[in-house]
Amino acid sequence: MGQRGIMKRISSLFLLTVLAMALVLSGCDVGKKDSGNGKVKIGVTVYDQYDTFVSQLMECFQEFKEDNVEIVVYNASQSQQTQNTQVQKMIDDGCDVICVNLVDRTDPTAVIDAAKKGDVPIVFFNRELVEGDINQWNKLFYVGANAVESGIMEGQLAATACLADKSIDKNGDGLIQYVVLEGEAGHQDSIVRTEYSVNTLISSGVEVEKVGYAIANWNRAQAQTKMSQFIDQYPDGIELVLANNDDMALGAIDAYESAGIIRSKWPAIFGIDGTDVGLEAVRDDRMVGTVYNDKEGQAKAMYRLCIILARGGDITELSDEFTIDDGKYIRLPYDKVTATNINLYIKR
Ligand code: BGC
């Protein structure tokens, strides 16, 4: 072999070595993204572990856990700052994917920056970030539901009841005097549910008169306090209560019970969620109806998506099971629940 031949051999050997090294170094980017050995570590941070719906959603999520999967859950206790620190810790601890129930849905910047830096995909859930933010990176996703749908369904449930049962119009003035109990100001579900439930009620042909609105932050005790004030002002002047969630509907019920007002004098009360306590209230005829917020479906979508992302896969792998919008969103449908179909939901 001449000198040129030897040089050629050496340079192709060098090329091969460089190629092999590149493949080894980029090993974690090719195909597998989990912590190696097939194990997956999922981190979760919830905005408030005492929120009834979110805590039941997390119970469902944990039920999907398989043996080779570890799930760590943090409570942000309503502090975005705390949540940002938790996300960084989960990244440092080697989580393959993180689920974030934002405290402040308008302030996900620190979470997104940390995730990008650590190259860890994020599945936001229940508290929806704005489009501009979710589009900041291709590894950001959202699992939840369509708030408009829940508002329309609550309005339909209330309209059906008001049109069918004339005794709801207690003073017989042809108008339904109503109160709305709203979730946190700024939460996508509060703004939208209030607007669509009331508009649907009106467009269904029910004539209404607004007695009052009160923000009770999704919270049963706060709703009871607000409702007690309305009862003091209008002892038998309220015929309908539209609550943005079941816990606040239950707070309204608590207020009537503690005021010593008998059931036949209560307004028709509606909620949204179908939490265990909410469904019991429908079953016992304390609440007329609720709208089922499919926590089982949302938990399943979150879990499946986490496993796929942790293994370097793509959200489209779920397209047989769930509807995927814009390659980023999975929204589970709501359902109307009344005394007639309550058994289908209580047994879930
Ligand atoms: C639920 C509420 C819950 C809130 C928390 C809503 O979708 O209906 O019950 O408190 O999410 O973010």
Whole-number Å distance, alpha carbon 12 to ligand 1 midpoint, is 62
Task: Classify burial at 63, counting beta carbons within 10 Å of its beta carbon; exposed 0-12, middle 13-18, buried 19 or more.
Answer: exposed
Q: Is the pLDDT of residue 15 over 80?
A: no
DSSP state letter for 273: B
Torsional class of 62: left (φ above 0), alpha (ψ -120 to 50), beta (otherwise): alpha
Q: What is the CA radius of gyration of the chain?
A: 26
CA-to-CA distance for 219 and 50, rounded, in angstroms?
10
Confidence band (pLDDT; 50, 70, 90) for 272?
very high
Query: Within 13 Å of residue 63, how many CA atoms lie on the same side as its CB?
Result: 13
**Which of 191, 273, 331, 334 for mutating ligand 1's site (highest number of atoms within 8 Å of CB)?**
273
Q: Is the pLDDT of residue 29 over 70?
A: no
CA-to-CA distance for 3 and 7, rounded, in angstroms?
6
Please answer whether residues 144 and 331 qualify as being in contact, where contact means their C-beta atoms are separated by less than 8 angstroms: yes
CA-to-CA distance for 224 and 201, rounded, in angstroms?
24
Whole-number Å distance, alpha carbon 268 to ligand 1 midpoint, is 21
pLDDT computed for residue 30 by the predictor: 32
pLDDT computed for residue 347 by the predictor: 76
pLDDT computed for residue 34 by the predictor: 55
Please report, in angstroms and rounded to a whole number, the separation of the first and last CA atoms in the chain.
Answer: 78
**Residue 138 tokens, joined:** 């291709």
Whole-number Å distance, alpha carbon 296 to ligand 1 midpoint, is 14
CA-to-CA distance for 283 and 209, rounded, in angstroms?
28
Ligand 1 atom closest to residue 145's alpha carbon, by position in its atom list: 7
Q: Is the pLDDT of residue 17 over 50?
A: no
Q: What is the mean pLDDT of residues 8-20?
A: 42
Confidence band (pLDDT; 50, 70, 90) for 16?
very low
**Which of 58, 60, 126, 242 for mutating ligand 1's site (highest number of atoms within 8 Å of CB)?**
126
CA-to-CA distance for 154 and 131, rounded, in angstroms?
26
Whole-number Å distance, alpha carbon 187 to ligand 1 midpoint, is 9
Ligand 1 atom closest to residue 147's alpha carbon, by position in its atom list: 7
* Residues recorded for the chain: 348
Whole-number Å distance, alpha carbon 247 to ligand 1 midpoint, is 9
pLDDT computed for residue 94 by the predictor: 98
Q: What is the mean pLDDT of residues 55-66?
A: 98
CA-to-CA distance for 131 and 49, rounded, in angstroms?
26
**How many other CB atoms are found less than 10 A from the CB of residue 165?**
11
Whole-number Å distance, alpha carbon 218 to ligand 1 midpoint, is 7
% of the chain with per-residue pLDDT over 90:
88
Please answer whether residues 130 and 186 qualify as being in contact, where contact means their C-beta atoms are separated by less than 8 angstroms: no
CA-to-CA distance for 146 and 247, rounded, in angstroms?
19
Between β-strands 176-182 and 208-215, what pairing exists: parallel, antiparallel or unpaired?
parallel
Ligand 1 atom closest to residue 247's alpha carbon, by position in its atom list: 9
Contacting residues for 172 by C-beta, under 8 A, at least 6 apart: none
Which domains does the chain show, CATH number per domain?
40-145+295-332 (3.40.50.2300), 148-293 (3.40.50.2300)
**Which of 245, 275, 287, 294 for mutating ligand 1's site (highest number of atoms within 8 Å of CB)?**
245
Strand order in the sheet with 140-145: 69-75, 40-46, 97-100, 122-125, 140-145, 329-332, 324-325
- Residue nearest ligand 1's atom 3 by CA: 53
Contacts 24+ apart (CB under 8 A), 340-348: 342/279, 342/282, 342/283, 345/274, 345/279, 345/292, 346/279, 346/280, 346/283, 348/296
pLDDT computed for residue 163 by the predictor: 98
Q: Is the pLDDT of residue 7 over 80?
A: no
Ligand 1 atom closest to residue 47's alpha carbon, by position in its atom list: 12
pLDDT computed for residue 191 by the predictor: 87
Between β-strands 324-325 and 329-332, what pairing exists: parallel, antiparallel or unpaired?
antiparallel
CA-to-CA distance for 128 and 100, rounded, in angstroms?
10
Q: Is the pLDDT of residue 1 over 60?
A: no
Confidence band (pLDDT; 50, 70, 90) for 295?
very high
Whole-number Å distance, alpha carbon 233 to ligand 1 midpoint, is 28
Q: Write down the H helix ranges in the chain.
A: 3-25, 52-63, 80-92, 109-118, 131-134, 147-164, 188-203, 220-233, 246-258, 276-283, 295-310, 342-346
Pocket residues for ligand 1 (CB within 6 Å)? 51, 53-54, 126-127, 187, 189, 218, 245, 272-273, 293
Whole-number Å distance, alpha carbon 167 to ligand 1 midpoint, is 31
Q: What is the pLDDT of residues 180-203, one digit of tens each?
A: 999 999 999 998 999 999 999 999
Ligand 1 atom closest to residue 51's alpha carbon, by position in its atom list: 10
pLDDT computed for residue 37 by the predictor: 67
